[in-house]
Chains A and B, each alone.
Chain A
Amino acid sequence: MARAVTPRRKAVNTAISWAIGLLIFFPIIWVFVLSFKAEGDAIKAPLEVLSSPWTLESYSIVQERSDYFKHFWNSVILSVGSTFLGLLVAVPAAWAMAFVPGKRTKDVLMWMLSTKMLPAVGVLYPIYLLFIQLGLLDSRLGLVVVLMLINLPIIIWMLYTYFREIPGEILEAARMDGATLRSEILYILTPMAVPGIASTLLLNIILAWNEAFWTLNLTAANAAPLTAFIASYSSPEGLFYAKLSAASVMAIAPILIMGWFSQKQLVRGLTFGAVK
């Protein structure tokens, strides 16, 4: 609904939007600032914080104390791995639901979503026991599967809504031309669905990266991602704002940067079928 407006109106819009944007973003800026301060300065009043000397001390302490890159790699492997595995399962399912809808399709979809409502804390014991039996405790493989399952309903739903937007006539035409099911998916559907798949992928990487219950409770030293890294910096003895800030920046920066670069994609795709 963008229309031509007077420069004055545009200036007002700009001012208000920037003010709100900065307000929402401010906590992240502040953590960033505190991460470059000494512990004693980080607890001071805001103006004193800003005028105090800048230092990389907290980052070097955090890096010395815990193996950031190990946790970082685990986060990458878990989030990317679970997302791709999820897509592998979800693309065919969503395709089938979108193009060969049965009477029950909508029910199946809703049932899938409802599996997300199982309270994780309530099933920790069952899952933990299961993981022990399967030898999956503290393994990346086990967590990849769990994260995939947690997010699978969301993936399927998002993909389903994209696929539904693809006009059926194109497929009909392709079928007339004698396209096989495989080539139909590969050459016609996939290119049309790429934007949708891309934003599904992004959203799921974010959700998996930030998942903090299973990733903390099913890991020890080998598979622990950044969520466990953060758990060692929350409320230790003594002053900790600067170290906590540095650790927080290190934990959220990768996903934030990824989000920024792909925000156009994300904005375009994050519709859940809400737009007609």
Chain B
Amino acid sequence: MATQHSRSAARFMMAPAVILLLGWMLVPLVMTLFFSFKKYLPLRGDSMANGLDWVGFENYVRFVSSSSFWPSIWATLIIVGGVLFITVILGIALALLLDQPMWGQGVVRILVIAPFFVMPTVSALLWKNMFMDPVNGFFAHMMKSVGMQPIEFLSQHSLLSIVMIVSWQWLPFATLILLTATQSLDGEQLEAAEMDGASWPSRFIHIILPHLSRAITVVILIQTIFLLGIFAEIFVTTGGAFGTKTLTYLIYQRVLESQNVGLGSAGGVYAIILANIVAIFLMRIVGKNLDA
């Protein structure tokens, strides 16, 4: 259907976006690759102007042989996996609930999506201080009032707490997308199934879930992209202590706290590889789902 003319026009129209993104990807990528093979310790006076020493794969070896490396991969997977699990499950439940007839549906919807508008820094600060603080926090006061010892969220249950905070931020997003999908669900089909005596669980598994599968993959894809890079939430709450150092945070620690740009850049390359593995894996699924 597309003519030669429209094809070249299309190419022309895509060019700005492709060129910009290519530049945005390549320039930092090439520089990161370059630094990752160099000894670059800015605080020791190393700089581009003075020339940097070539160190081969030393930074790559050092980054993975650090005792923090595998725990950081683990922490990353727990946080990403945990948040995805919670937001998808609760998102489906909320979407189905909010789709039911009720009074004040619009207002409830606003209440549910509100956390999405809160900056990550603010939400981390407010959870850490006003809620999870073991002395003055809301939860601590509640627990003390019923005679319990306040929970020390961010030191004793650090990963869980961070998963909770991040889930609070992303639940609205999942709910919204799943809600839009739920709204297009075929009511008649459901009613027919109900007449035929299909139980709620079987209706859910055979009709609702398949209908939502596209939306679920979209939620997983988009959230994974954002969750792999979460930083503010950890920086503000634990600063990477108590096993919450994700790969992103470890890179931050190498580049900015230790001021070892070479080592951090090698970590950056690993992160890009990891992200791409996840991406390819996800896109296989999503790609299939989006074509259907």
Which B residues are in CB contact (< 8 Å) with A80? none
B-contact bits for A135-151, CB 8 A (1 contact / 0 none): 00000000000000100
Counting CB contacts under 8 A, is B134 at the interface?
Answer: no
Contact B180 A1 (CB under 8 A): no
Counting CB contacts under 8 A, is B241 at the interface?
Answer: no
Residue of B20, B97, B136, B221 near A241 (CB, 8 A) is B136
- Closest residue of chain B to A24 (Cβ to Cβ) is B112
Contact B279 A122 (CB under 8 A): no
- Closest residue of chain A to B165 (Cβ to Cβ) is A27
Which A residues are in CB contact (< 8 Å) with B268? 119, 121-123
Compute how far the CA of A125 lies from the CA of B251 in the bound complex, rounded to whole angstroms: 12
Compute how far the CA of A226 lies from the CA of B117 in the bound complex, rounded to whole angstroms: 13
Contact A122 B102 (CB under 8 A): no
Least CB distance, B83 to chain A, in whole angstroms:
15
Compute how far the CA of A45 lies from the CA of B116 in the bound complex, rounded to whole angstroms: 27
Compute how far the CA of A24 lies from the CA of B272 in the bound complex, rounded to whole angstroms: 34
Q: A96-B13, A125-B35, A275-B181 are in contact. Are A115 and B24 (CB under 8 A)?
A: yes
B-contact bits for A216-258, CB 8 A (1 contact / 0 none): 0000000000110011001100001100110010011001100
B-contact bits for A83-111, CB 8 A (1 contact / 0 none): 00000011011011101111000101010
Which A residues are in CB contact (< 8 Å) with B75? none
Contact B104 A2 (CB under 8 A): no
Contact B97 A17 (CB under 8 A): yes
Compute how far the CA of A5 lies from the CA of B101 in the bound complex, rounded to whole angstroms: 8
Compute how far the CA of A259 lies from the CA of B176 in the bound complex, rounded to whole angstroms: 13
Contact B111 A24 (CB under 8 A): yes
Counting CB contacts under 8 A, is A167 at the interface?
Answer: no
Which A residues are in CB contact (< 8 Å) with B214? 273-276
Q: Number of A residues contacting the other chain (C-beta, 8 Å)? A: 99
Compute how far the CA of A251 lies from the CA of B168 in the bound complex, rounded to whole angstroms: 18
Counting CB contacts under 8 A, is B182 at the interface?
Answer: yes
Contact A92 B108 (CB under 8 A): no
Contact B225 A113 (CB under 8 A): yes
Counting CB contacts under 8 A, is B231 at the interface?
Answer: yes
Interface of B is mostly: helix
Compute how far the CA of A25 lies from the CA of B117 in the bound complex, rounded to whole angstroms: 11
- Closest residue of chain A to B216 (Cβ to Cβ) is A274
The stretch that binds A, out of B54-62, B122-130, B154-162, is B122-130
Compute how far the CA of A226 lies from the CA of B119 in the bound complex, rounded to whole angstroms: 10
Which A residues are in CB contact (< 8 Å) with B176? 266-267, 270
Contact B111 A14 (CB under 8 A): no
Counting CB contacts under 8 A, is A31 at the interface?
Answer: yes
Counting CB contacts under 8 A, is B120 at the interface?
Answer: yes
Contact A130 B122 (CB under 8 A): no
Contact A93 B177 (CB under 8 A): no
Residue of A3, A113, A252 near B187 (CB, 8 A) is A3
Q: A117-B225, A123-B28 are in contact. Are A267 and B109 (CB under 8 A)?
A: yes
Contact B119 A230 (CB under 8 A): yes
Least CB distance, A141 to chain B, in whole angstroms:
15
Which B residues are in CB contact (< 8 Å) with A108? 14, 18
Counting CB contacts under 8 A, is B148 at the interface?
Answer: no
B residues adjacent to A (C-beta < 8 A): 1-2, 6-7, 9-11, 13-14, 16-18, 20-21, 24-25, 27-29, 31-32, 35, 48, 94, 97-123, 125-127, 129-131, 136, 138, 141-142, 144-145, 168, 171-173, 176-177, 179-187, 190-191, 214-215, 217-219, 221-222, 225, 228-229, 231-232, 236, 247-249, 251-252, 255-256, 261, 264-265, 267-268, 271-272, 275-276, 278-279, 283, 287, 290
